[in-house]
Amino acid sequence: MSARTRGHVALVGAGPGDPGLLTLKAARAIARCDVLVYDYLAAAPIVALAPPDCERIYVGKKLGAHTLLQDEINALLVRLGREGRRVVRLKGGDPFVFGRGGEEAEALAEAGLPFEIIPGISSALAGPAYAGIPLTHRAHNTAFTVATGHEDPLKGLSTLDFARLANPAQTLVLLMAMANLREIAEHLQAHGLPGETPVAIVREGTKPQQETLVATLATIVVEAERRGIGAPAVVVIGEVVRLRDRLRWFDAHPLFGKRILLTRARGDGDDLAAKLWEIGAEPLIAPTIAIVPPDDLAPAEIAVREARIFHWIVFTSRYGVDAFFDRLSASGGDARALGDVSIAAIGPKTAEQLMRHGVRADFVPPRYVSEEVAGGLLERTEPGARILLYRAQEARDTLPEMLRAEGRRVDVVAAYKTVVVRDDAIAEAASAADVWTFTSASTVRAFLENVAGAAQLSAGKTVACIGPITAEAARESGLRVDIVAEEYTYEGLFEALESALSPTG
């Protein structure tokens, strides 16, 4: 049997939960796999990196609820490998740190199947770091130990050496310890670790749901029961826990723990979603609109072919840029077809998209509204100048009317159109969210078509809009608008959210 026929299995660490902590090598492996076998702890944005036609098999295991037993998972990986598939076994944290990856690797080795191990960041390291607790510090400890608090039940009595673990000169990190926390605390105190030793429980570390409880070895069990803190959690025991008050950073951000609804088109604003993850907010991706070709493609295609007849071409979104150059490429052309035509971009993101096609915008207005665009174009053109607006089919006519009023010849061409995405999940996400964000008037209208009683549901929510036009559409629809970004970009919207929701904002 050839290696090609046998396939290949990668045991990949997904990290502790924050998608940004996934390694580059892991992301590449996921992006080219045929089958993804994944765990409960693998974050949805990481699972989404798999190709659209990839077979996804969930084998998540939680305490007392296993989709498949470990032996069944081992057999599944062997079978898939023998079928010649490229398999990624995606495991929370690191495969070889209490992840039973060693057992899966043994099964693959015994079957003679090629495999590789792609390490991930263990929650033993990441959980304390995101809670502001360094595992080592010259003033407090000389070592740290990582141990499991949930051993193989078939072994009977615990094999943990509590006499060695009860060492005040080291930091002790325990994984999967919540079920046995009382016994562990008692054993450590019985072996001489003082009851006043600081202890932290970091639950759902690196995620927007992260919760940190600090107590002492003598009080941690009672406090955890009182707060209702359970698994998955990392327990940190040692003097370094005292540093949390000064070093906490992740859960100190004003957007930490906020569930923020993103209603833009799928794939748009991914940078904003990534930034929200980084500071502990949870982006709820609920695309309300999709970008499709216009009703009549002919004018858009003619405008591309005859681009040189215009003095200026104005792009009002990156979608228009992509539509223009897709059609130009399909006809065998490239940026040279523009000749000496001047180019305007509505904003920096549209200008960036032009640069990806080798075109530098000649004009980007300081504010991304029709009045600013019109003023800039009028300053740069003479009456009779021919201007092409390559834009959305449903866009407002404010800009062309302003230009025509000053004697410019304006051709308005629909490059694409925006359509409503209908999905029951949008209403569910809206209900769960703390913050609703809207990035265009079309996202507002599409949202309202998906969410019955949106105005009533918005009570208790924060509603944020990317600019005044979007805010006007929201208010006309009966929504109360709390935040309007001063800079009409995703970065501006993010900064407006930070400022408004900060305790000192």
Q: Which residues are catalytic?
A: 39, 61
Residues sharing a CB contact under 8 Å with residue 491, sequence separation 6 or more, in sequence order: none
From CA 158, how far away is CA 314, in angstroms rounded? 71
Cβ proximity of 269 and 262 under 8 Å: yes
Q: How many CB atoms lie within 10 A of CB 366?
A: 9
Closest CA to 123 of 24, 10, 236: 236
From CA 458, how far away is CA 481, in angstroms rounded? 10
For 39, 286, 443, the CA distances from 477, given in Å and listed in that order, are 42, 19, 12
For 185, 202, 230, the CA distances from 133, given in Å and listed in that order, are 20, 10, 19
Cβ proximity of 474 and 454 under 8 Å: no
For 282, 359, 430, 478, the CA distances from 472, given in Å and listed in that order, are 26, 33, 20, 10
For the chain, the residue count is 505
Residues sharing a CB contact under 8 Å with residue 253, sequence separation 6 or more, in sequence order: 279, 280, 281
Strand partners, 202: 212, 234
Cβ proximity of 7 and 113 under 8 Å: yes
Distance from chain centroid for Cα 437: 15
- Element of type H or E holding 476: helix 468-476
Long-range contacts of residues 26-33, Cβ cutoff 8 Å, at least 24 apart? 26/118, 26/120, 29/88, 29/118, 30/88, 30/90, 32/86, 33/86, 33/87, 33/88
Closest CA to 497 of 316, 319, 283, 194: 283
Alpha helix stretches (DSSP H) within 347-460:
348-356, 370-380, 398-405, 424-432, 441-450, 454-457
8-state DSSP, 340: T
Cβ proximity of 306 and 277 under 8 Å: no
3-state secondary structure 359-380: CCCCECCCCCCHHHHHHHHHHH
- Work out whether strand 65-66 and strand 61-62 pair parallel, antiparallel, or are unpaired: antiparallel
